Structure 1
């Protein structure tokens, strides 16, 4: 029996011996390839939290993950695994963080579409234990299986040591390899949870979207997912190995570890590794950037440079951004905008731009085109269009040129609870999951928010099911874009003037 045939056989066996929740009347129990899992019944769903897809990574720092080992008996899957150690406050943290969570309408043979979510927080922070990305409402709304995944981040997932020590040949990309292992687990086991392993959609916000864009260029991920949605997260280019090596040197210097002896990294407290991320980034300044590396082993070309990677052009892809991305990063009532005026607008904008155009010229262009706009409105429009939006435009244009199935959306729904933030970065998380009342949501629970959320959830679910977003594909001649709002609609090339303005100079992906 071939490996492929054996995997198909085991998947079918796992599905056939699942204990139906409705038959037992109590906690649902599912047989996976490694052993049985006991979940909970919640609001008509079967929920499995903290499902381990890989072994404890503390014993394999900076190395590729190992699949979870088999166990006997029924293992409880009722609590989240720890989140990857990080500087952010995300609850329990630990290196034994390779866990996923499943919300399913039934452990049966229904073969529902699977929506697997990858969290944001760039490549250094974040977790799916945040109630904003609980999968219960999305699973119930669309009769789909929702999976959320934690994996290694920051130095634990992306520190590049491969050129210094052969033991760490996979380092620089092990965070990505964790996600690939999670997708392999889904392929091999999700049928037992009522899901279809041949209809897996990956979606992720911010850094989660960037991780997806990167996986679309990783041969090891080929065939593991069948649709993709990136939400305010792109990865045009990865970190080059020379720049990644310079960051490693800064990190090791902060720790006092010699480049010819990596052994202390394996035994020192993980807290010290996290503290060392405060070393100054030799390329960007500020704290160290960590992200995927063009290591010529796992990642052999940039994800979307010089074009869209042909490996994934057949995969239907949806790309989205919010209208006011930078209002999430730059407080309208904070020091950066205190005393903002026409006299200092260009100087205040300059540090926030990622496209090297003359700031005074940018201001003049906006003032001529939008004479009634205030300095604050121009500040946020220009920093969004010149910082957070270009990667999405580049990726969508590249796929359109390749005639790849591509759809684009823009979130215009503005926060009614914090109106000075408009439609900021992260606005689309609660809308997509239906978690409008979760802590941290900016949407409120009014009629407009419910309408925008329903429109977004319906489109995501439909896309997972059919591979078609339900509005015209993004093409160079039309640039059709779904605008998610209290009343959603399709527009051709919204913000086209801004797109053309910032296309006059190249975009350099931060960190690369």
Structure 2
């Protein structure tokens, strides 16, 4: 092939021969051999896990975006004849240290375009799920223990997780003076994901996956990335179903604002417009440190938007023609079935540790609501009290903040998707975490280990009770069923009706799950102005 992404037949045969020799040696020693797969970019050696699951970690899917490739769209990776060892995770993107779920051995670098694959034993045309991690657009990594794909692979799914550029390295939109190579630099991190999806299209059959049955899914910032992919023409046809967990994103940063940030950044770095060599020579840590000053220098008008200020994806008119769901869904999203939902108490993770929120009086709560929703506050305050009669004023403020940042965006995105015809399913996760005195309730990100079946990996977060296992027995098979068939129904949950603007049927996940029509209907009507 002439596209630069395939090896010669001779190289593939050499890799296969090496694989055969390694397998024979392992069998002679009485152990299961490490699996070797000949991808179009070269042979890779993974690891065999319990039950025949195979994992391949740290697979490159594009060239390292360093030096003169900094801020540019991802470039093709040259094939190699050597067998690459895929036994350890690759770098995550440059980001702040000390995040609660960050393992001690996690590494970071600008060279971060790596993905991981978990595949079932003897897989053939298995459904594929591509995971986009959370952390907004500034942090997170595909390698964290919550996201390990063993359970998905055991249940017949090929699970792919993706690292990509973040923050200033992934979303700096340079001004037009930098020329065509940087016309979409404000979407570099999203274009990384598109490149990873192309890798899946071209290679996943060699891991037993079906490139014609790909589900993209993500939570928080990962859900926002899924939202954006539903509006990016270059991603069309690379996925077939989508799941957005606590991260519905309707809009993106305006280009003028994003270019202003890019200009402020290069000024802070002392780099003149168009000087590619000078930009490439700036040390990584200096680039990362300069982003705060650039943000401070450029006033954002998106004070109440979801992830649309700072170094985040921006509209360029080509790779992202407009907001993915603003004012309506883009046509390319029409054939894609969707699961979308939130957790009951999303904002406890961010707000309840603040004594000013946790210890609010009724008057302080009312002032908080008026600040967030000035036009709806007088109707909303009693509606929230009626919906959550056992909540303190501070926890009711958390509910209102979560409605603004998560719940109403999910409803709006679903409503704008419905006219296109493909089915939509809505959920809410209500189980309250007993740990930490119950202060987190059903917090943001709590559902992740239930979906992945990895709750034993994160017992320090989810606690020792049987609640996580019971939730996982309901949520994980629903995600697997959706990936396999396009419907989330399975025997451990009630029938899950499709969402529509009339009944608004919503699966309420809890120890015993149930379907509720139009939950919190009074609050929804107030917030929607009708």
State the TM-score, normalizing by the size of structure 1. 0.89
8 Å Cα contact 1:437-1:444 kept in structure 2: no
1:504 deviation in Å? 2.0
The CA RMSD over aligned residues, in Å, is: 2.8
Which deviates further from its counterpart, 291-300 or 358-367? 358-367
**What count of residue pairs does the alignment treat as equivalent?**
494
1:432 deviation in Å? 0.6
Q: Cα gap change, 1:379/1:209 in structure 2, threshold over 3 Å: closer, same or farther? A: same
In the alignment, structure 2 segments of 5+ residues that lack a partner are 490-495
Match of residue 187, structure 1, among 195, 201, 209 = 201
1:238 deviation in Å? 1.2
8 Å Cα contact 1:204-1:212 kept in structure 2: yes
1:423 deviation in Å? 0.6
Query: Hey, what's the Cα distance between the residues in 1 that align with 2:370 and 2:57?
Result: 44
1:277 deviation in Å? 2.0
Query: Hey, what's the Cα distance between the residues in 2 that align with 1:370 and 1:285?
Result: 27
1:344 counterpart residue number: 364
2:506 counterpart residue number: 481
> Is 1:28–2:41 an aligned residue pair?
no
Query: Hey, what's the Cα distance between the residues in 2 that align with 1:425 and 1:191?
Result: 34
Q: Any residues of structure 2 matched to 1:333-482 within 5 Å, and which?
A: 333-337=353-357, 339-349=359-369, 353=372, 355=373, 357=375, 359=377, 362-367=380-385, 373-418=391-436, 419-439=438-458, 442-470=461-489, 471-482=496-507
Q: Deviations over 1:200-237 (max 9, x none)?
A: 11110111111111111111001101111011011101
1:46 counterpart residue number: 54
8 Å Cα contact 1:330-1:336 kept in structure 2: no
Say which SS state the counterpart of residue 243 (structure 1) adopts: helix
Q: Any residues of structure 2 matched to 1:493-504 within 5 Å, and which?
A: 493-504=518-529
Query: Hey, what's the Cα distance between the residues in 1 that align with 2:480 and 2:375?
Result: 40
Q: Deviations over 1:147-167 (max 9, x none)?
A: 110001111111111523103
8 Å Cα contact 1:239-1:292 kept in structure 2: yes
Query: Hey, what's the Cα distance between the residues in 1 that align with 2:345 and 2:126?
Result: 35
Which deviates further from its counterpart, 335-344 or 414-423? 335-344
Match of residue 262, structure 2, among 220, 230, 248 = 248
8 Å Cα contact 1:416-1:442 kept in structure 2: no
Q: Deviations over 1:34-91 (max 9, x none)?
A: 1100111111211110011111111311111122211112110111111111124443
Query: Hey, what's the Cα distance between the residues in 1 that align with 2:165 and 2:411?
Result: 28
Query: Hey, what's the Cα distance between the residues in 2 that align with 1:253 and 1:499?
Result: 45
Query: Hey, what's the Cα distance between the residues in 2 that align with 1:256 and 1:73?
Result: 41
1:299 counterpart residue number: 320
> Is 1:202–2:216 an aligned residue pair?
yes
Q: Cα gap change, 1:180/1:33 in structure 2, threshold over 3 Å: closer, same or farther? A: same
Q: Cα gap change, 1:421/1:53 in structure 2, threshold over 3 Å: closer, same or farther? A: same
> Is 1:275–2:289 an aligned residue pair?
yes
State the TM-score, normalizing by the size of structure 2. 0.87
Q: Cα gap change, 1:182/1:435 in structure 2, threshold over 3 Å: closer, same or farther? A: same
Q: Cα gap change, 1:358/1:258 in structure 2, threshold over 3 Å: closer, same or farther? A: farther
2:492 counterpart residue number: none
8 Å Cα contact 1:432-1:453 kept in structure 2: yes
Query: Hey, what's the Cα distance between the residues in 2 that align with 1:198 and 1:339?
Result: 52
Match of residue 155, structure 1, among 127, 143, 168 = 168
